[in-house]
């Protein structure tokens, strides 16, 4: 029963462990799969924004090239045409703050001078007319690179104050050469001047269309070309929704544009990631736990019912076993005296005889008869007679203490003692006789004593295969008969010729 109980507990534990393991693995699989999809979507969105910025910068460069055509012509330049064309470009490219023209004068000995001659729009930019960009190291470096390479350059950003408001600005510089030099080489002597476009980061890196799509993502646009701490050009969405995610970050480099290397440093908020996920992993987890709990309860109910049935069967089996033991005990026990009966003696005698033959050991049998018991019954009645038999049986049983010794009621007032491997059987018989006499059970009708006495016949033998139970009993009975002939209340040891 204990083994079954332990096995049932093991099965329940196994079901719970396997169920929870499969549930956890399934939920984790769908969770990580969805997270991977979320990250891929997140990276895709940032990559698309990076590509859009790069395309915008190329478009802005094309506007400069289109405007530079005005200055390739050898004819005199018309300022009104510049204003018209520049305004047209501004309408097409609203992220451009202004267009400027700076003529180039080659000063051999004097310091370089890059002064603004034309600017569009003029409103709010009056102070820039005549401004010498060579006075600003940030801009001057970009001009020198444009002159040396003959290609467009983009300056680093510079903070200036306009209408009492600090603004960050950088300029795109395109060198313009004479029309004839375009077929030969862009030498410094053929340089006519520069077409400039100025940009504010907020306008150039426009994120107005990203408010919904990128809500919850902090995007920093960083100029990696700058040596120093002032690298951040713009920050989009300083995580308005929740705390920034601690483990998920993504940096995307925008392809190099005119000597500038910009990087998108992005960090999503926790809520952004969570909102992209769905409820499937949680549903699987809840369903798995529920199913495991249901299965466990169902198995437990079956096990519990089995235990109840097993307990009933066990109780019935124990009751039946006890009944069988009682029946067997009654079948081998004398009902009156409580010692072994004749049937059990016969069975036990056969086994011990075989054992003695096999081991070539002694086997002793004492046959006992209560003297003048019929007269005792006639005198005192059968109730007293039964009491007398009980006392004699109890006394004889108390004298036999070895496990393989047996005391049995042989019939009526006769008793038998079977003593395997016993040499002093006559002494044992005498001990029995003396013990019965010492009981001092009054026997007024006895012809040889005033108390109840017994006579005993003893036979001890090394039995052989030819020796039978009947022979041993018959020989002991002859010795008993001889003890009675001698006057009763005595023991006679039988010999083979008795």
Strand boundaries in 330-422, DSSP class E: 363-370, 406-411, 414-420
Contact 428, 402 (CB under 8 A): no
Radius of gyration, alpha carbons of the chain:
62
What's residue 287's pLDDT?
84
Cα 153 to Cα 387: distance, rounded to the nearest angstrom: 135
Angle at Cα 68 formed by Cα 224 and Cα 178, nearest 5°? 110
- Cα dihedral angle (435, 440, 443, 448), rounded to 10 degrees? 60
For the domain 333-493, what is the CATH code? 3.30.70.270
Q: What are the b/e assignments for 383-399, b being 16+ CB within 10 Å?
A: eebeebbeebbebbbee
List, by residue number, the catalytic residues.
413
What's residue 11's pLDDT?
76
Walk along the chain (498 residues) in steps of 10 and give the mean pLDDT of each run.
61 80 83 83 86 86 85 71 89 89 73 87 86 87 90 86 76 84 60 90 68 69 80 71 70 88 86 75 82 83 84 85 67 90 94 95 96 94 95 95 92 95 92 96 91 96 94 95 95 74
What's residue 318's pLDDT?
87
CA 422 to each of CA 356, 358, 425, 454: distance values in angstroms, whole numbers, following the listed order: 11, 16, 6, 21
Containing 235, the helix (H) or strand (E) segment is strand 232-236
Contacts 24+ apart (CB under 8 A), 420-424: 420/352, 420/355, 420/356, 420/361, 420/362, 420/363, 420/364, 421/356, 421/361, 421/362, 421/363, 422/362, 422/364, 422/460, 423/362, 423/460
Backbone φ and ψ of 155, nearest 5°: -80, 165
What's residue 470's pLDDT?
95
């Amino acid at each position: 029963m204990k083994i079954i109980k332990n096995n049932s507990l093991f099965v329940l534990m196994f079901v719970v462990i396997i169920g929870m393991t499969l549930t956890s693995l399934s939920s984790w699989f769908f969770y990580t799969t969805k997270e991977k999809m979320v990250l891929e979507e997140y990276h895709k969105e940032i990559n698309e924004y990076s590509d859009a910025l790069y395309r915008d910068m190329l478009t802005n460069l094309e506007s400069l090239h289109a405007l530079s055509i005005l200055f390739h012509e050898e004819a005199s330049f018309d300022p009104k045409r510049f204003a018209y064309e520049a305004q047209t470009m501004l309408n097409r490219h609203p992220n451009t703050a202004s267009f400027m023209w700076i003529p180039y004068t080659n000063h051999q000995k004097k310091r370089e001078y890059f002064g603004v001659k034309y600017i569009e729009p003029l409103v709010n930019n009056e102070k820039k007319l005549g401004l010498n960009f060579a006075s600003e190291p940030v801009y001057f470096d970009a001009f020198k690179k444009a002159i040396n390479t003959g290609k467009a350059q983009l300056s680093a950003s510079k903070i200036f104050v306009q209408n009492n408001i600090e603004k960050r600005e950088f300029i795109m510089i395109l060198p313009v050469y004479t029309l004839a030099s375009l077929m030969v080489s862009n030498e410094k002597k053929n340089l006519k001047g520069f077409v400039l476009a100025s940009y504010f980061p907020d306008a150039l890196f426009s994120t107005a269309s990203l408010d919904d799509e990128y809500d919850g993502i902090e995007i920093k646009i960083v100029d990696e070309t700058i040596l120093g701490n002032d690298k951040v050009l713009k920050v989009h969405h300083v995580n308005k929704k929740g705390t920034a995610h601690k483990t998920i970050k993504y940096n995307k480099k925008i392809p190099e544009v005119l000597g500038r290397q910009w990087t998108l440093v992005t960090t999503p908020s926790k809520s952004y990631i969570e909102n992209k996920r769905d409820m499937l992993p949680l549903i699987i987890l809840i369903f798995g736990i529920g199913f495991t709990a249901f299965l466990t309860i169902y198995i437990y109910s079956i096990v519990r019912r089995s235990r109840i049935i097993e307990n009933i069967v066990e109780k019935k089996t124990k009751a039946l076993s006890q009944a069988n033991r009682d029946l067997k005990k009654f079948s081998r026990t004398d009902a009156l005296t409580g010692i072994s009966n004749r049937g059990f003696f016969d069975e036990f005698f056969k086994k011990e005889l075989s054992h003695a033959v096999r081991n070539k050991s002694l086997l002793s049998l004492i046959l006992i008869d209560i003297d003048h018991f019929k007269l005792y019954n006639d005198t005192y009645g059968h109730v007293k007679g039964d009491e007398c038999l009980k006392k004699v049986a109890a006394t004889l049983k108390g004298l036999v203490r070895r496990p393989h010794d047996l005391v049995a009621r042989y019939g009526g007032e006769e008793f038998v003692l079977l003593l395997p491997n016993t040499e002093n059987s006559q002494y044992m018989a005498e001990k029995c006789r003396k013990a019965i006499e010492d009981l001092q059970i009054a026997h007024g009708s006895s012809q040889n004593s005033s108390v109840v006495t017994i006579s005993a016949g003893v036979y001890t033998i090394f039995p052989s295969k030819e020796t039978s139970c009947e022979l041993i009993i018959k020989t002991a009975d002859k010795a008993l008969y001889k003890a009675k002939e001698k006057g009763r209340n005595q023991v006679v040891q039988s010999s083979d010729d008795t």
